[in-house]
């Protein structure tokens, strides 16, 4: 059994015994919720100003509170703030330091406010900034992928299904697929941010306040559209964090798939790319090794972010309304997922921007005539043959070539007509690598002009996304003053 610390409870006269030291250690959160420090001060400044404007505290006291909080903010930004684990959480740390700087007037700051609505507000402010930061990181990675795609518009490689060579593609088309995925990821973060538009501040512990708080005032001051419409919901819900984690988990799965291809493609068996030395490591034993550690770590860290989502879903699933201390467990997985995704985006940008592509090796792998078997079947379809019948015929052609070790592309019209009389010409006339690519000119296809147009459109969308992010960052900076 632990020993009491001798320090009074964080909140007042109800308790006659000090908190057990083991409980203090068990329940303390300042070692991780200090990440909310700047948001806690912002919310407190908005609250203090509203208290003064509403006449709940005097104008002089409100000004003293704001001045003291600004000093606290400067200490936090400079790294000089004296975080104290004994003060339990970031909210008590800020208020305790305000007492030291401003004196007894600091006791007025918590008027009409609970730590329940305080932490919900801090979290919403953090999530809005974190979402923008991730959207910027996604945009930067999309920009790198687009740049490399434009560079390799004429680089041909096999496309794969089941990790078996399937049909030839342009490398630009392949990388554009990830641009599209990451664009949807950015949309998910933007959507989640749109649902963080209502301010929890003023909801109190769960039922609001009897004091004449101006919740519209604090909502506007902090950049929200309006106050949260239900005080219970405002303090009890964490679906904003859940949405962020869900979007982060999906994004990490996309990054993991991209990372897996870098691992495969950089192997001797593929030999399609070589990662720069700055994004690779060696072996502690084998001098010849060059290991793709960066994409391997990205692949591994995807499980970490998926686990963070599962953690918070599990925390939330059985909680009655309104606030429960279980909700303290929302922050560590959230902060970790944010930092992990942010860092993975950064290192993948560098990895992709600097890797070398072996275009010749890719084209050689894509030059197997067997990859054009579908085109051969479609040549029969154009002669009026039902596709299933054409598929069967070409399947027998493929089996014959494999059995006799023949080159599919060299089969004559007579050779092919032994399998179906409708073949109009030899394989060399019916199918070829460049013709196969250019024939796929439907929207979303891999024909050169189609891919170039898709890249141009993606580039325009990316410019528009960056403009939105910068505009949002500008508005956020205004409310931060």
Judge if 28 and 89 occupy the same domain. yes
Count of the separate structural domains present in the chain: 3
Check residue 288 and report its DSSP letter.
Answer: T
Cβ neighbors of 475 (< 8 A, separation 6 or more) are 223
Residue 123 has pLDDT above 90, yes or no: yes
Q: What is the CATH number for 107? A: 1.10.275.10
Q: What is the CATH number for 387? A: 1.10.40.30
**Is 15 among the domain residues?**
no
**Is 141 among the domain residues?**
yes
- Provide the b/e sequence for 40-66 (b: ≥16 CB within 10 Å): bbbbbbbbbbbbbeeebbeeebbebbb
- 32-55 pLDDT, tens digit per residue, is 889 999 999 999 999 999 999 999
The residue among 142, 233, 206 whose CA lies nearest residue 455 is: 142
Last residue of a domain, one of 91, 111, 131: 111
Predicted confidence at residue 287, as pLDDT, reads: 84
Helix or strand holding residue 406 (H, E): none
**Is 320 among the domain residues?**
yes
Question: Cα separation of 440 and 365, whole Å?
Answer: 19
Question: Cα separation of 248 and 131, whole Å?
Answer: 9
Judge if 193 and 231 occupy the same domain. yes
- 252-277 pLDDT, tens digit per residue, is 999 999 999 999 999 999 999 999 99
The answer to whether 169 and 157 are in contact (CB under 8 A) is yes
List the structure tokens of 394. 């070409």
Judge if 57 and 153 occupy the same domain. no
> Which is catalytic among the residues 58, 267, 283, 441?
283
Judge if 330 and 375 occupy the same domain. no
Predicted confidence at residue 30, as pLDDT, reads: 81
Range 86-104 average pLDDT: 93
Judge if 231 and 324 occupy the same domain. yes
Q: 170 pairs with which residues across the strands?
A: 156
Pairing type for strands 356-357 and 273-274 reads antiparallel
The answer to whether 17 and 1 are in contact (CB under 8 A) is no
% of the chain with per-residue pLDDT over 70? 97
List the structure tokens of 316. 């939330």
Annotated active-site residue 420? The verdict is no
Range 336-357 average pLDDT: 98
- Boundaries of domain holding 358: 116-365+455-479
Three-class DSSP category at 157: strand
**Is 373 among the domain residues?**
yes
**Is 9 among the domain residues?**
no
Predicted confidence at residue 13, as pLDDT, reads: 66
- The stretches of 103-170 forming alpha helices (DSSP H) are 115-151
Residue 394 has pLDDT above 80, yes or no: yes
**Which is it for the CA torsion 70, 76, 81, 86, positive or negative?**
positive
Question: Cα separation of 418 and 398, whole Å?
Answer: 13
Judge if 187 and 315 occupy the same domain. yes
Judge if 315 and 374 occupy the same domain. no
Judge if 209 and 352 occupy the same domain. yes
Judge if 67 and 156 occupy the same domain. no
**Is 1 among the domain residues?**
no
**Is 4 among the domain residues?**
no
How crowded is residue 278: how many other Cβ atoms within 10 Å of its Cβ? Answer: 9
Question: Cα separation of 48 and 149, whole Å?
Answer: 52
Check residue 8 and report its DSSP letter.
Answer: P
% of the chain with per-residue pLDDT over 90? 88
Judge if 242 and 277 occupy the same domain. yes
Last residue of a domain, one of 78, 111, 144: 111
Judge if 98 and 84 occupy the same domain. yes
DSSP-assigned states of every residue in 86-107: GG-SHHHHHHHHHHHHHGGGGG
Annotated active-site residue 199? The verdict is no
Q: Model confidence at 189, in pLDDT bands (50, 70, 90)?
A: very high
Q: What is the CATH number for 250? A: 1.20.200.10
Judge if 331 and 353 occupy the same domain. yes
Three-class DSSP category at 173: helix
């Amino acid at each position: 059994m632990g020993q009491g610390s001798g320090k009074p409870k964080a909140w007042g006269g109800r308790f006659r015994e000090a908190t057990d030291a083991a409980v203090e250690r068990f329940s303390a959160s300042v070692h991780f919720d200090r990440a909310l420090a700047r948001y806690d001060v912002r919310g407190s400044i908005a609250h203090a100003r509203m208290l003064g404007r509403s006449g709940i505290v005097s104008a002089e006291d409100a000004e003293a509170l704001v001045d003291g909080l600004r000093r606290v903010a400067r200490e936090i930004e400079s790294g000089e703030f004296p975080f104290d684990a004994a003060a339990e959480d970031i909210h008590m740390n800020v208020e305790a330091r305000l007492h030291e700087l401003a004196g007894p007037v600091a006791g007025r700051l918590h008027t009409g406010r609970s730590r329940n609505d305080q932490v919900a507000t801090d979290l919403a402010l953090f999530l809005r900034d974190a979402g923008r930061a991730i959207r910027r990181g996604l945009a930067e990675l999309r920009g790198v992928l687009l740049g490399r795609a434009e560079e390799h518009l004429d680089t041909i490689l096999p496309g794969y299904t089941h990790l078996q060579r399937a049909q030839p593609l342009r490398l630009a088309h392949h990388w554009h697929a990830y641009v599209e995925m990451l664009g949807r990821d950015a949309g998910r973060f933007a959507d989640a941010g749109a649902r963080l538009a209502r301010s929890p501040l003023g909801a109190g512990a769960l039922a609001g306040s009897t004091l004449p708080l101006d919740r519209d005032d604090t909502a506007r001051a902090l950049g929200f559209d309006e106050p949260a419409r239900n005080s219970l919901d405002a303090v009890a819900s964490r679906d904003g964090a859940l949405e962020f984690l869900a979007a982060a988990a999906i994004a990490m799965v996309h990054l993991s798939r991209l990372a897996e291809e870098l691992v495969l493609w950089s192997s001797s068996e593929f030999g399609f790319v070589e990662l720069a030395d700055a994004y690779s490591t060696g072996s502690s034993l084998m001098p010849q090794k060059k290991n793709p550690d960066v994409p391997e770590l990205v692949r591994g860290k995807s499980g970490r972010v998926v686990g963070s989502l599962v953690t918070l879903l599990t925390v939330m699933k059985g909680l009655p309304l309104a606030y429960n201390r279980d909700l303290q467990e929302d922050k560590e997985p959230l902060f970790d997922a944010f930092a992990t995704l942010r860092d993975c985006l950064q290192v993948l940008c560098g990895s992709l921007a600097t890797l070398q592509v072996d275009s010749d090796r890719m084209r050689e792998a894509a030059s197997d005539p067997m990859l054009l078997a579908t085109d051969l079947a479609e040549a029969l379809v154009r002669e009026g043959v039902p596709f299933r019948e054409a598929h069967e015929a070409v399947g027998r052609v493929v089996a014959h070539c494999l059995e006799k070790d023949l080159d599919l592309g060299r089969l004559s019209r007579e050779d092919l007509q032994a399998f179906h009389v409708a073949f109009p010409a030899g394989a060399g006339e019916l199918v070829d690598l460049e013709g196969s690519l250019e024939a796929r000119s439907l929207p979303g296809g891999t024909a050169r002009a189609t891919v170039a147009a898709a890249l141009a459109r993606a580039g325009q969308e990316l410019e528009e996304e960056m403009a939105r992010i910068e505009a949002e960052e500008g508005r956020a900076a205004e409310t931060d003053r």
